[in-house]
Amino acid sequence: MSYAQKVIEDLKQRYAHETVFLQAVQEVLSTLQPALDKDAKYEKNKILERIVEPERIISFRVEWVDDKGEIQINRGYRVQYNSAIGPYKGGLRFHPSVNLGVLKFLGFEQIFKNSLTGLAIGGAKGGSDFDPKGKSENEVMRFCQAFMTELYRHIGATIDVPAGDIGVGGREVGYMYGMYKRLTKSYEGVLTGKNLLFGGSLARTEATGYGAVYFAQNMLEDRGETLEGKKCAVSGAGNVATYCCEKLYHVGATPVTVSDSRGMIHDDKGINVEVLKQVKEVERASLTRYAELVPGATYTPVSAYPQGRNAVWSVPCFAAFPCATQNELNLADAETLLKNGCKCVSEGANMPSTLDATNAFLKAGVAYGPAKAANAGGVATSQLEMQQNAGMQSWTFETVDGKLKDIMGNIFRNASETAKEFGQPGNLVLGANIAGFRKVADAMIAQGVL
Ligand code: NDP
């Protein structure tokens, strides 16, 4: 049994119930063996056994009072996974499905993604099983404040800098930032994704979605193809999906779908991004509202989806941008996309494709940008926000967007060159994993056994 496989088997025994975490570890470790074979130092230093364990897990109770005067209790977490190459960095997710296994999967992915950006940032993730949906503005504020009354002890501008993720956008970041400031008397860049009024960066809101499109452009250019004039399927209707749609129009493509947890919109004429922003960012409503506002758009509820399948992926497209959540695209979806002529998949969400769907894309040889490369634009721009805060500066939109574009190009080249180095040209899963891994592993070795 290979070194990587031995570590995977051991983890399966230890963390049998943390299924998405095990999936993420398997996806990374199963591609690292060529790098482990090439240099014995990784096994000698037990790097895999060390890198799969978080440096620290903080778990705490969050108590708050709802509008009816009733006490509510949620669970809060911060997984500080790896700080070998920089302070911990990674988002906060507020969603009822959040548990430690989910946050370990996201934190583990974050280590390699952050390394790939070429910036000095370690990996972390956090969040709570709090559901912001259906809560009043005051309830969201009280929850965010309660969450921060514990988290503030563990974070700091050079220690750990959280950001948003599912259920955490500018509003939640603002409430948490306010409480951090009150508790610590410190006005510092401790969170990213902040409002422009108090240290936020232009282009941070757009960065993950824009970055996923820049990554697709890089992959396609390398193959002599382009997104121009092409139909694209996008899933999700949140931050990443919205700005992915917006950037697709900028490059001459047409996004024809978006989705949320209740259903999907399909419109061959193209998604109306302004209406989408109004429905999701302002009204915080379901996509049924979008269908009311845009004649000609069709709404399909989840209950009408084909068994166990996401209807978004049955819409014929040249490129697919999964931007909702983990495991939203399975093998049957991948096969449907390929049958319908899909030539490019760029992942805006974290681990949206199941392992067998990923393998189907690799086998078919389409341009496939795995999440930790394709969606790294968000965290990279968060790091640009940290740079601006540290230097007390505010860069223009064009400056930040230009840097984002360069970073996405560098990530593509790094993953692509690494894939070639290990004899698997075009396999950006292997390329991204090995490139991200080597930098962190070498830093861990240089810093000794801690
Ligand atoms: P948002 O909360 O803004 O939007 C999430 C979207 O996905 C919503 O439309 C939501 O629908 C939908 N969704 C969530 N869970 C499910 C589910 N179980 N089934 C179907 N649809 C679902 O989050 P983001 O756009 O920020 O994040 C989307 C993905 O991108 C996540 O995987 C996140 O980890 C990843 N990501 C985000 C980054 C960022 O900068 N924001 C950076 C890098 C990665 P509904 O509203 O109905 O729940």
Q: Given this model, what pLDDT does residue 426 score?
A: 97
Q: Give the percent of the chain with pLDDT over 70.
A: 100
Assess whether the C-beta atom of 324 lies below 6 angstroms from ligand 1. Answer: yes
Helix (H, G, I), strand (E, B) or coil at 91: strand
Is residue 7 a contact partner of residue 52, using CB atoms and an 8 Å limit?
yes
How does pLDDT run across 154-165, given as a tens digit for each residue?
Answer: 999 999 999 999
Quote the ligand 1 centre to 241 CA distance (angstroms).
8
Q: Give the percent of the chain with pLDDT over 90.
A: 99
Q: Which residues contact 384 (CB under 8 A, 6 or more apart)?
A: 201, 204, 395, 400, 403, 404
- The pTM assigned to this predicted structure is 0.97
How does pLDDT run across 386-429, given as a tens digit for each residue?
Answer: 999 999 999 999 999 999 999 999 999 999 999 999 999 999 99
Probe residue for ligand 1, chosen from 125, 261, 381 as the CB with the greatest number of ligand atoms within 8 Å: 261
What one-character DSSP code corresponds to residue 353? Answer: B
Is residue 152 a contact partner of residue 183, using CB atoms and an 8 Å limit?
yes
Best CA proximity match to 132, nearest among 179, 175, 195, 177: 175
Q: Which atom of ligand 1 has the smallest separation from the CA of 167?
A: 2
Check pLDDT > 90 for residue 231: yes
**Based on the number of CB atoms within 10 Å of its own CB, is 184 exposed (0-12), middle (13-18) or buried (19 or more)?**
middle
Q: Given this model, what pLDDT does residue 308 score?
A: 74
Probe residue for ligand 1, chosen from 23, 239, 381 as the CB with the greatest number of ligand atoms within 8 Å: 239
Is residue 157 a contact partner of residue 85, using CB atoms and an 8 Å limit?
no
Identify the residue whose C-alpha is closest to ligand 1 atom 5: 238
Quote the ligand 1 centre to 260 CA distance (angstroms).
8
Q: Given this model, what pLDDT does residue 318 score?
A: 98
Identify the residue whose C-alpha is closest to ligand 1 atom 15: 325
Is residue 235 a contact partner of residue 258, using CB atoms and an 8 Å limit?
yes
How does pLDDT run across 236-256, given as a tens digit for each residue?
Answer: 999 999 999 999 999 999 999
How does pLDDT run across 59-99, given as a tens digit for each residue?
Answer: 999 999 999 999 999 999 999 999 999 999 999 999 999 99
Is residue 413 a contact partner of residue 223, using CB atoms and an 8 Å limit?
no
Q: How far apart are CA 274 and CA 46, in angstroms?
A: 51
Quote the ligand 1 centre to 168 CA distance (angstroms).
10
Helix axes 331-339, 355-364, angle to 10 degrees: 30
Probe residue for ligand 1, chosen from 20, 105, 166 as the CB with the greatest number of ligand atoms within 8 Å: 166
Q: How confident is the model at residue 309 (pLDDT cuts 50, 70, 90)?
A: confident
Torsion angle in degrees (nearest 10) through CA of 104, 105, 107, 111 = 130
How does pLDDT run across 162-206, given as a tens digit for each residue?
Answer: 999 999 999 999 999 999 999 999 999 999 999 999 999 999 999
Assess whether the C-beta atom of 240 lies below 6 angstroms from ligand 1. Answer: yes
- DSSP symbols for 128-191: ES---TT--HHHHHHHHHHHHHHHGGG-BTTTEEEE-BTTB-HHHHHHHHHHHHHHH---S--S
Check pLDDT > 90 for residue 145: yes
Q: How far apart are CA 65 and CA 67, in angstroms?
A: 7
Q: How confident is the model at residue 347 (pLDDT cuts 50, 70, 90)?
A: very high
- Residues 317-346 have a mean pLDDT of 98
Quote the ligand 1 centre to 206 CA distance (angstroms).
14
Q: How far apart are CA 372 and CA 349, in angstroms?
A: 9
Q: How confident is the model at residue 307 (pLDDT cuts 50, 70, 90)?
A: confident
Quote the ligand 1 centre to 345 CA distance (angstroms).
17
Q: How far apart are CA 425 and CA 294, in angstroms?
A: 44
Assess whether the C-beta atom of 164 lies below 6 angstroms from ligand 1. Answer: yes
* Domains parsed from the chain with CATH numbers: 54-187 (3.40.50.10860), 207-374 (3.40.50.720)
Q: How far apart are CA 370 and CA 391, in angstroms?
A: 33
Q: Given this model, what pLDDT does residue 306 score?
A: 86
Check pLDDT > 90 for residue 142: yes
Quote the ligand 1 centre to 220 CA distance (angstroms).
25
Assess whether the C-beta atom of 166 lies below 6 angstroms from ligand 1. Answer: yes
Q: Given this model, what pLDDT does residue 117 score?
A: 96
Assess whether the C-beta atom of 237 lies below 6 angstroms from ligand 1. Answer: yes
Assess whether the C-beta atom of 383 lies below 6 angstroms from ligand 1. Answer: no
Residues known to be catalytic: 125
- Residues 222-235 have a mean pLDDT of 98
